[in-house]
Amino acid sequence: MKSVRSLSALVFLFLNVVFLSGLNNAALAQKAASPGNEAELAKAMDAAAAPLYKADGPGAAVLVMKDGKPIFRKGYGMADIALGIPMRPEMVFRLGSVTKQFTAAGILLLEEEGKLSISDEITKYLPDYPTQGKKITIEHLLTHTSGIKNYTNLPKWLPLWGKDLSLTELIDLFKNEPLDFEPGTKWNYSNSGYILLGAIIEKASGQKYDTFVETRIFKPLGMTHSFYGHNHRIIPNHVAGYDKTAAGYSNAAYLSMTHPHAAGALVSSVDDLALWDAALNGGKLLKPESLKKMFTPFKLADGKLTNYALGWGVGAQVQQHSIQEHGGGINGFATDVLRMPQDHVYVVVLTNCTDPETRPEALAHKLAAIAIGKPLVERTAIKLDPKVLDAYTGVYQVDETTSRMVTRENDHLLSQRTGGSRLPIFPFSETEFFVKNSGTEMRFIKDGTGKVTGMEVTQEDGTKSIAARTDKPLPKARQSVQLDPKVFDAYVGEYELAPNFILTISRADNKFLAQATGQTQLEILPESETEFFLTAVDAQLTFVKNDEGKVTQLILHQGGRDVPGKKIK
């Protein structure tokens, strides 16, 4: 999802909170190793991975396969910080949305057995599901084209993290929500669709989802370190998960593993995932026709292809080489798996921390590029005349609901998507810009007269999108007002946005600060006595008082959603 989205694409404050994958990290600047020299390749890969993980912090297990053989396999950092247990590559991690490819394979297995067809309407297996008069097929669920609302984006899901839910109760959370669009007409990542696929697997197979995936996929393939990650289950070599905070690392917020289910509840190791890839390549699990379906992008009603097939992102590239990829994110863990079918390369990066600075997809892309002998090259910023920069400022329309604002601050530009962070972008030519610590690049498009008409954004995985320049004026900068710090002191405290997910409000001298669990502390500026805004992120806060004037809650406004947080301390 870019690389494929994670189980929880749920925005809280400043970032998506976890249940996949995003943009590129700093690119490699090292000398290309010969593809035939495995020692050189391994050395270059270690040089790319090692700086990302401190010996005493959360880490990663990394594996690169080429032509069916491991050419790089290593653990970094700590598997358990409290116990001082170093990471070993054979350890077990929560996969998050990498789970989806196993769910898709389960559906295809059942199709091969004649127990269902992906063209079937879902009401054939879930007769009570309210499709609102629309035809929703199993294929729509597999390809995120059903229009069913993503339950991890619903505010009512937030307070339930710690509560075990039955599959029926989980489906009840979203089944009566209005569809986002006509099935088959658009693509929008939805964990809800994969929850329904889990229910369909149970109905068609007569087995619970966890039993099905373990007995029909893991056991036959010899994947002895792969399981459904029930909270109560003792899983050997299962690493601890962490979140990055301004003060260091904290234990990951608790999440009942009844919630991710077929969308993100599996656990595995890099070695087991290599067995999985070998089984797909060798036809040990699926027939060639099924495998072809798994990697064929969905065609929308208007004839356009999406960049998603069945549980896999497709259509992207690394160094102009085609890749198939999926990332995963779930409390305390971030993962990425990447296939280069023409190059016979397979990369797995499993991490036990949700640190945005060590995103696994970025490392996976670096390692894949090294494996094919074409390491990525770091961009170097140049200086442009401020008048050139000013010509690029404006509002660029991404789609019906999303725009990108480009503004200038001193000698550089800033780019900000609706609801997102303000990212500095730096020029490496007169029209091309890059984001530091990321492979994302932006190219401004001009017509024959030199007028700027749009912006092309290239993600780390090679996917491109174009946003048209509009005549809309840039929103007026929000103006902060003077606020007596003593007034703000009434707001200081902890606000619960979800169980174990806290927004802490504090003051340092005359600075007002907000920090969400696992995220960076950011300054908030008063717009009035109760309304505050952020400059680093497109988000606002409203503090709410009761009739007695006591502060009882705040409301986070971001990305079109209003998320309340009760004051608990």
Residue 479: its pLDDT value, please?
85
pLDDT at 1 over 60: no
If residue 49 lies in a helix (H) or strand (E), which one and from where to where?
A: helix 38-49
Distance CA(375)–CA(366), nearest Å, equals: 7
Vertex 242: Cα angle to 362 and 354 (nearest 5): 25
Q: Where are the domains of the chain?
A: 10-371, 386-469, 485-567
Mean pLDDT over 347-374 rounds to 92
Vertex 291: Cα angle to 90 and 196 (nearest 5): 80
What φ, ψ does residue 408 adopt, rounded to 5°? -110, 140
Structure confidence at residue 437 as a pLDDT band (50, 70, 90): low
pLDDT, one tens digit per residue, over 241-257 is 998 876 678 899 899 99
Residue 21: its pLDDT value, please?
32
Residue 246: its pLDDT value, please?
64
What φ, ψ does residue 260 adopt, rounded to 5°? -70, -30
**pTM for this entry:** 0.80
Closest CA to 15 of 565, 467, 555, 537: 537
pLDDT at 7 over 80: no
Query: Could you name the CATH architecture of 386-469?
Result: Beta Barrel (2.40)
Residue 4: its pLDDT value, please?
52
- Cβ-contact 28, 18 below 8 angstroms: no
Distance CA(508)–CA(528), nearest Å, equals: 19
Helix, strand, coil: what percent of the chain each, to 5? 25, 30, 45
Distance CA(542)–CA(410), nearest Å, equals: 30
For the packed helices 38-49 and 360-371, what is the interaxial angle rounded to 10 degrees? Answer: 160
If residue 512 lies in a helix (H) or strand (E), which one and from where to where?
A: strand 511-516
- Say how far residue 472 (Cα) sits from the centre of its chain: 30
Domain 485-567 has CATH 2.40.128.50: yes
Helix (H, G, I), strand (E, B) or coil at 414: strand
416 against 240, higher pLDDT: 240
Structure tokens at 467: 């946003």
What φ, ψ does residue 200 adopt, rounded to 5°? -65, -40
pLDDT at 448 over 60: yes
Distances (CA, A) of 252 to 256, 266, 330: 12, 17, 9
Please tell me the least confidently modeled range out of 221-230, 284-293, 300-309, 470-479.
470-479
Distance CA(194)–CA(36), nearest Å, equals: 40
Closest CA to 111 of 344, 355, 294: 294
- Cβ-contact 533, 540 below 8 angstroms: yes
pLDDT at 35 over 70: no
Mean pLDDT over 444-449 rounds to 95
pLDDT, one tens digit per residue, over 61-102 is 999 999 999 999 999 999 999 999 999 999 999 999 999 999
Helix (H, G, I), strand (E, B) or coil at 457: strand
Distance CA(23)–CA(188), nearest Å, equals: 18
pLDDT at 12 over 70: no
* The three-state (H, E, C) secondary structure of 263-327, written as one string: HHCEEECHHHHHHHHHHHHHCCCCCHHHHHHHCCCCECCCCCECCECCCCEEEEEECCEEEEEEE
Name which CATH class applies to 10-371. alpha beta
For the packed helices 99-112 and 191-205, what is the interaxial angle rounded to 10 degrees? Answer: 40
